[in-house]
Structure 1
Amino acid sequence: MSRADAVLAMTADRRDLHAHAEPGWCEVRTASLVARRLAGLGYAVRVGREVVAADRPGLPPAAELAAAYDRALAAGADPEYAALVRDGFTGVVATLATGRPGPVVALRFDIDANYGHESADPAHPAERDGYRSRVDGVHHSCGHDAHTAIGLAVAHELAAAGGPSAGEVRLIFQPAEEGLRGGPAMVAAGVADGVDVLLGCHIGVQARETGEVVAGYRRILASHKFDVRFRGRNAHAGISPHEGRNAVQAAAIAVQNLLAISRHGDGETRVNVGTIEGGETRNSVPAHALLRCEVRADDNAILGYLCDRVEEVVRGAAAVTGVEARVETAGGAAGADSTPELAAVVGRVAAGVHGVTRVRDTADFKGSDDMSSFMNAVQDAGGRAVYFGLGSRLGDVHHAPGFDVDDDALVIGRDVFLGCLRELGVLG
């Protein structure tokens, strides 16, 4: 396929995925079409329960999972694979193995979208060009549609080349990165077992110009995602307020004090309360409230400090208001750093890729990503792992309503992956 044709094909894939955005554990259409495409290219494909462990944190309610399945079928999902990935088992792993000596090289691509409403501003590229998300309240505001399109393009070129010349190439299409849920579940299912070399990329993080490449991120932050549920007692707000126990009051106290947790002097720390819900009606003391929150740190010990403080704050808010409270884990992953030697390979390859104008050796990621789960699994077993940055002009910052990427960056990402496979000796 010519470079121009590749750009058109990747753009079409990315915009189709963008228009049919699916949140974590609900990526039925995406996973089924990826699996069907890869099977058609001759890959050995495993999906669903074969590659995703049963313990999946942050699983949506059954009604949301069922609605996602029905919506996916109506939007053209492959029925055979959709049935295998439904109910929150939306992972895909595709392998080309030669049976000849050589490394097992895995490439990881995340596939999920974010909750949130996409911009309808006529100047927003997705609105202007007709690929704005058709799923209300869900859109690709972190670039995972781009990652998936790159993965499909790599798969196509690898198959067109007759497959790897040695060893094995394993393509991992991971659900539920948002909330750090899918990576740990796939690692627990053994997806990273036996991997010698792992590569992945993120578009636009610390690289905001098309043509820029960060050869390997460092300091991917460890993070713990959690929900706090407060349970109080209803009472008439006018006649008998003293009989009630106000869960919303407890939540409000907790929000203020969670955000006031002292940051740690030994490293980067982050605290965020993302949503607050509660109450039943205007004239009743509210009996329930829910907070969805996260903490992050660049050191697992510091993350432990934050988690301990969270527990203390929640207990204190519950005690002062006389309500019950519990903290539930909703996701999380440890921190990670790219293997320097492998980042150097990425840097050498990127420097020779058409369209690359600047290569930086490294940059702090400054966020969290459950690519770290795969990286730690591979590195702990003696292998090498890298997460590189793919530069792109952005319509807005990540997780914002106007986020969008430059489709011209996609072919650069494809070529960096393919060049690394050649450099590693698994592609002739």
Structure 2
Amino acid sequence: MRTDFMASAKAVADDVIAWRRHLHANPEVAFQERETAAFVADKLRDFGYEPEYVGATGVMAVLETGRPGITLGLRADMDALPGTETTNLPFASRKTGVMHACGHDAHTAILLGVAKVMAQHKKNLAGRIKFFFQPAEEPLAGARTFTAAGKLDDVDGLAALHVMTNLETGSIGTRAGVLMAASDTFTITVNGKASHGAEPHHGIDAVLIASHIVTALQSFVSRNVGPLDSAVITIGKITGGVAFNVIAEQVVLEGTLRTLKVETREKAFARIRAIIDHTTAMFGGEATLTLFEGSPPLSCDPAWVAKLRKAALRHIPESHLRTIAEPSMGGEDFAIMLEKAPGVFWNLGARAPGAPQTYLHSGAFMLDEAALPLGVAITCELAAESLGE
């Protein structure tokens, strides 16, 4: 007899919501999730697991069925964001300048619910489930906590979700192939030579050089990226100069690169370096590039997307299962895990019907907690489908 995972999800719904509210009220930013990790580990012990810390704030637990089968990895991110919450919720952030504005509190609570339910039904399964409670998704760094420790070396498939308020509660969305862009950041330090503003011929103007670099970088997108491909180079911060009448000796540019293809990403790295070197040399200055590689493009495996669809259709009508039309240029470091094993990333609708949309990374961000049991049920269904119930 097949397990009714929606009934199981509803049975733990009050707990899941309570956990989410506790986490929401006590947010912690990337790599500082010590209280969050301790909370997660305590709950996992309550469910009968033996949690293991991975790094300072990552937590992993394994459900061993004792029967041969695949190893499935399920991941939730735990970190919050800098920001001031303006929701006036009774469980709003208690920490000044920190809030859960991206739903990671919900992701963590949902995966705890899944861990509790699956522990109750492991007699029907074959194989293993690894639960990854990940720090530091926001800086696109925390997934490497697990990959560097070898915790994904034996994983055969992966799944993770993200709550989204552009979808109503009761709907989900995903797509086969590339879903999200590679996301990288960089810092360019331009060095010139200071002189009086009235005597620029005695100096090397770092502001002028930086200005040419900013405009030249856009030529990569318009002239080196195919018209049916996508890339974004954004310089979001410029710092330099000491006074209005002094030729600047140094300017620092900070930016982000987003690409949908691995080959476009590699080409962009090379072109950014070339543009900086040649532009700087043209004006007689010098420059250094510091590139921080974030996450690669996130691509969902078609077979795992099909498994997710099958699992979801046990709980929602087909009209509520959305195929995301176009990839997002946003980044997500679950892509780092997906380099180790195929899998699926999906969006869980979390806007109450008729409610106005609030936006991720906003102080006003709110989600519909009625969505959480569906996240538990579908994830459990996917796990059971993968482990042979």
Q: Same fold (TM over 0.5)?
A: yes
| CA offsets 1:364-408 (integer angstroms, 9 cap, x no match) | 4413322122222113xxxxx111221122743333343332211
Q: Residue 300 of structure 2: SS of its match in structure 1?
A: coil
Q: Which amino acid aligns with 1:209?
A: E
Residues 265 and 2 (structure 1 numbering): CA distance in 2 closer, same or farther, change over 3 Å?
closer
**Which residue is 1:32 aligned to?**
38
Match of 1:9 in 2: 15
Q: 1:419 aligns with which of 381, 384, 388?
A: 381
Q: Is the 8 A contact 2:85 2:92 kept in 1?
A: no
- 1:348 and 2:314 aligned: no
* Alignment equivalent of 1:21, drawn from 4, 22, 27: 27
Distance change in 2, residues 1:410/1:317 (3 Å): farther
Alpha-carbon distance in 2 for matches of 1:318, 1:133: 48
Once residues 425 and 109 of structure 1 are traced to their aligned partners in structure 2, the CA distance between those partners, rounded to angstroms, is 19
Cα distance in structure 1, aligned partners of 2:381 and 2:270: 45
Q: In the alignment, which of 47, 54, 60 is matched to residue 93 of structure 1?
A: 60
CA distance, structure 2, for counterparts of residue 351 and residue 321 of structure 1: 61
Question: What does residue 371 of structure 1 align with?
Answer: 334
CA offset at residue 175 of structure 1?
2.0
1:62-73 alignment, distance < 5 Å:
none
Name the structure 1 match of 2:90. 129
Relative to structure 1, the CA distance from residue 134 to residue 353 in structure 2 (aligned partners, 3 Å threshold; closer, same or farther) is same
- Of residues 322, 345, 348, the one that matches 1:387 is 345
The answer on whether the counterparts of 2:193 and 2:206 sit within 8 Å (CA) in structure 1 is: no
Matching of residue 105 in structure 1 with residue 72 in structure 2: yes
Task: Please report how far the alpha carbon of residue 243 of structure 1 lies from its aligned counterpart in structure 2 after TM superposition.
Answer: 5.8
What displacement does 1:95 show? Answer: 0.8
Q: Residue deviations 1:30-58, cap 9 Å, x none?
A: 22322232233222322234xxxxxxxxx
1:219 aligns with 2:193: no
Q: What does residue range 29-68 of structure 1 map to in structure 2 within 5 Å?
A: 29-49=35-55
Closer, same or farther: CA 373–2 of 1 in aligned 2, 3 Å: closer
Is the 8 Å Cα contact of residues 16 and 131 (structure 1) preserved in structure 2?
no
From the superposition, tell whether residues 362 and 218 of structure 1 become closer, same or farther in structure 2 (CA, over 3 Å): farther
Q: Percent identity?
A: 29
User: CA, structure 1 residues 153+163, in 2 after alignment: closer, same or farther (shift >3 Å)?
Assistant: farther
Alpha-carbon deviations, 1:158-190, whole Å to 9, x = none? 234457732111001122222422224422321
Alignment of 1:7-406 (within 5 A): 7-49=13-55, 85=56, 90-115=57-82, 117-118=83-84, 120=86, 126-132=87-93, 134-136=95-97, 138-161=98-121, 165-204=125-164, 208-232=167-191, 235=194, 245-259=204-218, 261=220, 262=222, 263-279=225-241, 286-319=248-281, 322-353=284-315, 358-361=320-323, 363-366=325-328, 367-379=330-342, 385-393=343-351, 395-406=357-368
Contact 1:216–1:338 (8 Å) recurs in 2: yes
Question: 5+ unaligned residues in a row in structure 2: which ranges?
Answer: 1-6
User: Which protein, 1 or 2, shows the higher relative CO under an 8 Å CA cutoff with sep ≥ 6?
Assistant: 2
> Cα offset for 1:201?
1.2
Contact 1:141 1:398 in 2 (8 A): yes
Query: RMSD of the TM alignment (CA)?
Result: 3.2
- Taking the aligned partners of 1:305 and 1:296, their CA distance within structure 2 comes to 12
Preserved CA contact (<8 Å) 1:107 1:198: yes
Q: CA deviation at 1:411?
A: 1.3
- Give the whole-Å Cα distance in 1 for the aligned partners of 2:42 and 2:250: 44
| More strand as a share of residues | 2
**Paired residue secondary structure (1:369):** coil
Give the superposition deviation at 1:354.
6.4
Question: Would the aligned equivalents of 2:192 and 2:286 in 1 still touch at CA under 8 Å?
Answer: no
Q: What is the distance in 2 between the residues matched to 1:234 and 1:163?
A: 72
Distance in 2 separating the partners of 1:249 and 1:365: 36
**Residues 263-287 of structure 1: CA deviation (Å, up to 9, x unaligned):** 5324122222333344556776554
The answer to whether the 8 A contact 1:228-1:325 is kept is no
> When the two structures are superposed, what TM-score results if normalisation uses the length of structure 2?
0.83
Query: Is residue 143–residue 405 contact of structure 1 (8 Å, CA) maintained in 2?
Result: yes
Query: Which stretch shifts more, 251-260 or 300-309?
Result: 251-260
Number of aligned residues: 375
Contact 1:220 1:372 in 2 (8 A): no
Q: 1:7 & 1:275 partners in 2: Cα distance?
A: 44
Q: Which residue of 1 aligns with 2:3?
A: none
Displacement of 1:248? 4.8
Residue by residue over 1:287-319, the C-alpha shift from the partner in whole angstroms, topping out at 9 and shown as x without a partner, is 444333222222111222322332233234533
- 1:243-272 Cα offsets, whole Å, 9 max, x none, are 655545544443344345425324122222
Structure 1 residue matching 2:113: 3-state secondary structure: helix
Structure 1 spans left out of the alignment, 5+ residues: 50-84, 121-125, 380-384
CA separation in 2, counterparts of 1:8 and 1:228?
A: 46
Q: Distance in 2 between matches of 1:212 and 1:24?
A: 29
Structure with greater Cα Rg: 2
Task: Name the SS for the 2:21 alignment partner.
Answer: helix
